Structure 1
Amino acid sequence: MNATTPIQSPSDVAASPRSRAVSLALPFDPVLALAVIGLCVWSLLAIGAASEGDGLADPNTFVTRQAIYFGVGLAIAIVAAVIDYSRLRELKIGLYALLIGIILLVFAFGTVTRGSRLAIQLPFFSFQSSELGKILLVMALAGFVVDRARRLQDRDTTARIMLLTLIPAGLVIAQDLGSGLVYIAIGLTMLFVAGTSVRHFAALIALGLAAVMLVLVVAPRVGVEVLAPYQKERLTSFLQPSNDPGDAGYQQAQSRIAIGSGEKTGRGDRSTQSSLRFLPEDHTDFVFATVGERWGFVGAGFVLSLYALLVWRAIRILTMAKNLFGALIAGGIIAMLLTQVFVNVGMNVGIMPITGIPLPLMTYGGSSVLSTFLAVGLLQSIYAQGRASAAMKGRVLGF
């Protein structure tokens, strides 16, 4: 080496244009994008199959609308992916206020469907505020947790974060029990990602069990009904569906029949449960049963594999995050996705109560699709900035 040639420091090498070009060669996670695209394709196939026996003037109505939702969702994801997600931390109070505001709007302007007030009817679709609220809660809680990063082991911090979680969760439970439980899962997971003390989790679990006993056992015995009748019916009917085969147990019984009849490779065009209208809500709550009947174990297993791929990449992105705020957002999104998949598939196969929780990117509906794409966009933003930050520090992130 020539003595006059300056020796480059590691930081100089990392900051070179060539290394920057390499680090930005993939500004998004292609595997995450592949999982999302795969689920969207399966959604359109399943909704199309479920619409065959609906008697609509245009049998492609639901498929066309879902495709439009996917297109709008993709635009939302792209916008979310290119913004600096770290700036959202400064908006935590506004995001939390927006969360509470849109939930309260449903109480004032929401329409009642099957005994519950869930959504506001708009010209183009029904806006279900609890779906957008999940993402708003994730972003807001991440900001509040980071503000107390030096006091994460304090009991006061755990209490504050859970209180901020339970306020919107309680409001949502009054509308939709299932979505409210997702809110609680998000709050607990974000505390876990932040490194909250195990003793605090033990105390929260004890309090949770005490609350369940109070709501389901103690309160009814003294004449106080906390849950609406339809909510209690949904929670208990899955344990003994044959006791009420004409109402609450009917949906789950038909769902299990549909999945069972699909066997290994499905019944294809010979499917009867969805096409002959035996299976209710076959393009929304029970779309997984439609997949199971038409494409069998192979199709259902492939869909679950796509969800496993989606969650795996989200976990990978969590580990790549350049800061705690990004890791918390990724953790909250993972909790949201996992809870919804587990509960929805569980209620389709009869191991979970019917709660109306949508299957992400599969269930027909604009609110769920758009909110999930927003979550995917945030994950992509965390991924891109995590790779760029690692490159600037001279580190190489693996696949």
Structure 2
Amino acid sequence: MENRRYRTDRFDWTLTLLLFLFFLISCVAIYSAQGSAQYDRNFLIMQVFWYVVGAAIILVSILFDTYQYKRLSWYLYCFGLLLLVALIVAPESIAPVRNGAKSWFIIKKIGQIQPSEFVKPFLILALSRVIIRHQELYQEKALKWDFLLLLKLGVTTAVPLGLIMLQPDLGTGLVILAILTGMILVSGISWKIILPIYSAGTSLGALILYLVINKPELLEKYLKVKSYQFLRIYAWIDPVNNESGAGFHLMKSLSAIGSGVLTGKGFGKREVYIPEGHTDFIFSVIGEEYGFVGGSILIGLYFMLIYHLIRTALDTNDPFNTYVCTGIISMITFHVFQNIGMTIQVLPITGIPLPFISYGGSSLMGNMFAMGLIYSIRYHHRNYMFATDKSLGT
């Protein structure tokens, strides 16, 4: 009886409550969005199914502890790469090109499976293992060892990133870069290295944006970039003059969220038609029906989730767990800010889902596996409080 109570106390009930609230919000929003969608499928039933699958993934994830995840990290990483390679070489009968991208496997009676969604948590485990192993081998602090660690992290990330960009999938590629950025910041690499690199990257991004807006012919001439690839930038900056094309989704999103004003129009009382409202633009549906108050509550829940993940990173006594938490925090935070930002014209449209809310089995399963890692950390980390380095694994 006492042992059962001890296990219950170690279970992460706070995270469970947050995920349950996300589940309720997702179901309500998807049910409303699918009422005016151009599809005849019941996305609500499928979302409930994927949440059940996600819950099973979490339960299985808890069975593995930190030591086992360290040992499995490279196997999962290689499995993810294998999925990405298989996607590229697969015939279009099982991996069709949709909207110019070859990003999904089609499985009969199940739907679409997007391998890149699973690669993200696999990459987080691999990067965490790289950092831990490097710190064990090079305990003396020196710039040359920091450069070496940066190179290791870069190569580990470049392989899946390159395969994802071959699809091409810019949104997921940006998430991969966000994960890498967050983990570099906490890896112990000297700011003498980080600051110049990030400054150069920011400057390069600003220069490219300037050229896209003012000198696109230079990019077309020297980098062989096609003009149509600039449409999302033009639509983001001036959606009114691009409403008939790339700016259509953004104008509809702004109209929906703006018309929701303070408290929204109420459940099922939407008036603005939003294509793909159950997926990437589900926040627009929430903004129209529940207004500023509803959107703020959802954003508040995300802040609570991120705060809980930060607390988990600080509470654990294993550096590997800390790095895993950091990668998951970077992934979730980027997803939330990018998705909501693109619906209100703060950021360009990249087509990435809103975590735990947007419809999508692959996205939800990938995120639930990431949450399973958090559950495992919370459940097992106390066992290692007085453990030796050998018991923690390397």
Is the CA contact (8 Å cut-off) linking 2:309 and 2:325 kept in structure 1?
yes
TM-score calculated relative to the size of structure 2: 0.87
Give the Cα–Cα distance (whole angstroms) in 2 for the partners of residues 56 and 148 of structure 1: 50
Within a 5 Å distance, the mapping from 1:370-385 to structure 2 comes to 370-385=365-380
Aligned residue in 2 for 1:156: 148
1:291 partnered with 2:291? no
Give the Cα–Cα distance (whole angstroms) in 2 for the partners of residues 222 and 229 of structure 1: 10
Give the Cα–Cα distance (whole angstroms) in 2 for the partners of residues 250 and 381 of structure 1: 43
Q: 1:186 aligns with which of 179, 183, 200?
A: 179
Q: Deviations over 1:349-397 (max 9, x none)?
A: 111111011111111010001011101110011111223444889xxxx
Aligned residue in 1 for 2:343: 348
Within a 5 Å distance, the mapping from 1:17-96 to structure 2 comes to 24-54=7-37, 61-96=42-77
RMSD: 2.4
1:138 partnered with 2:124? yes
Query: Counterpart of 2:242 in structure 1: which amino acid?
Result: D
Aligned residue in 2 for 1:117: 102
Identity, in percent, stands at 30
Is the CA contact (8 Å cut-off) linking 1:158 and 1:200 kept in structure 2?
no
Q: 2:322 aligns with which of 324, 327, 332?
A: 327
Q: Which runs of 5+ in 1 are unaligned?
A: 1-16, 394-399
Query: Taking structure 1 as reference, are residues 32 and 220 closer, same or farther at Cα in structure 2, changes over 3 Å only?
Result: same
Give the Cα–Cα distance (whole angstroms) in 1 for the partners of residues 234 and 83 of structure 2: 30
Q: Say which SS state the counterpart of residue 385 (structure 1) adopts.
A: helix
Is the CA contact (8 Å cut-off) linking 1:70 and 1:369 kept in structure 2?
yes
Q: Deviations over 1:127-158 (max 9, x none)?
A: 11111110110011111111101437521111
- Deviation of 1:209 (Å): 3.8
Is the CA contact (8 Å cut-off) linking 2:38 and 2:275 kept in structure 1?
no
Q: Deviations over 1:289-344 (max 9, x none)?
A: 00010111121111111111111111111112231111111110000000000000
Q: Deviations over 1:36-71 (max 9, x none)?
A: 11011100000000011236656xx10000000000
Q: Which runs of 5+ in 2 are unaligned?
A: 389-394
Query: Taking structure 1 as reference, are residues 106 and 55 closer, same or farther at Cα in structure 2, changes over 3 Å only?
Result: closer
Is the CA contact (8 Å cut-off) linking 1:32 and 1:309 kept in structure 2?
no
Is the CA contact (8 Å cut-off) linking 1:23 and 1:388 kept in structure 2?
no
Query: Counterpart of 1:252 in structure 2: which amino acid?
Result: L
Query: Taking structure 1 as reference, are residues 70 and 296 closer, same or farther at Cα in structure 2, changes over 3 Å only?
Result: same
Give the Cα–Cα distance (whole angstroms) in 2 for the partners of residues 179 and 66 of structure 1: 21
Aligned residue in 2 for 1:168: 160
Q: Say which SS state the counterpart of residue 328 (structure 2) adopts.
A: helix
Is the CA contact (8 Å cut-off) linking 1:138 and 1:333 kept in structure 2?
yes
Query: Counterpart of 1:196 in structure 2: which amino acid?
Result: I
Give the Cα–Cα distance (whole angstroms) in 2 for the partners of residues 75 and 134 of structure 1: 19
Give the Cα–Cα distance (whole angstroms) in 2 for the partners of residues 239 and 383 of structure 1: 43
Query: Counterpart of 1:377 in structure 2: which amino acid?
Result: G
Is the CA contact (8 Å cut-off) linking 1:322 and 1:385 kept in structure 2?
no
Structure with max Cα Rg: 1
Q: Say which SS state the counterpart of residue 52 (structure 2) adopts.
A: helix
Aligned residue in 2 for 1:359: 354
Q: 1:300 aligns with which of 258, 277, 295?
A: 295
Aligned residue in 2 for 1:100: 81
Give the Cα–Cα distance (whole angstroms) in 2 for the partners of residues 322 and 21 of structure 1: 23
Moved more, 189-198 or 45-54: 189-198
Query: Counterpart of 2:187 in structure 1: which amino acid?
Result: A
Query: Counterpart of 2:342 in structure 1: which amino acid?
Result: M
Is the CA contact (8 Å cut-off) linking 1:288 and 1:345 kept in structure 2?
yes
Query: Taking structure 1 as reference, are residues 91 and 56 closer, same or farther at Cα in structure 2, changes over 3 Å only?
Result: closer
Query: Counterpart of 2:134 in structure 1: which amino acid?
Result: R
Aligned residue in 1 for 2:270: 271
Give the Cα–Cα distance (whole angstroms) in 2 for the partners of residues 299 and 390 of structure 1: 41
- Deviation of 1:172 (Å): 1.5
Give the Cα–Cα distance (whole angstroms) in 1 for the partners of residues 34 and 220 of structure 2: 45
- Deviation of 1:261 (Å): 0.7
Aligned residue in 2 for 1:397: none
Query: Taking structure 1 as reference, are residues 210 and 159 closer, same or farther at Cα in structure 2, changes over 3 Å only?
Result: farther
Query: Counterpart of 2:269 in structure 1: which amino acid?
Result: R
1:387 partnered with 2:379? no
Is the CA contact (8 Å cut-off) linking 2:37 and 2:276 kept in structure 1?
no
Q: Deviations over 1:150-190 (max 9, x none)?
A: 43752111122122112322322332111101101111211
Is the CA contact (8 Å cut-off) linking 1:193 and 1:327 kept in structure 2?
no
Q: Say which SS state the counterpart of residue 348 (structure 2) adopts.
A: coil
Give the Cα–Cα distance (whole angstroms) in 1 for the partners of residues 84 and 361 of structure 2: 17
Query: Taking structure 1 as reference, are residues 245 and 56 closer, same or farther at Cα in structure 2, changes over 3 Å only?
Result: closer
Query: Taking structure 1 as reference, are residues 100 and 210 closer, same or farther at Cα in structure 2, changes over 3 Å only?
Result: farther
- Deviation of 1:214 (Å): 8.0
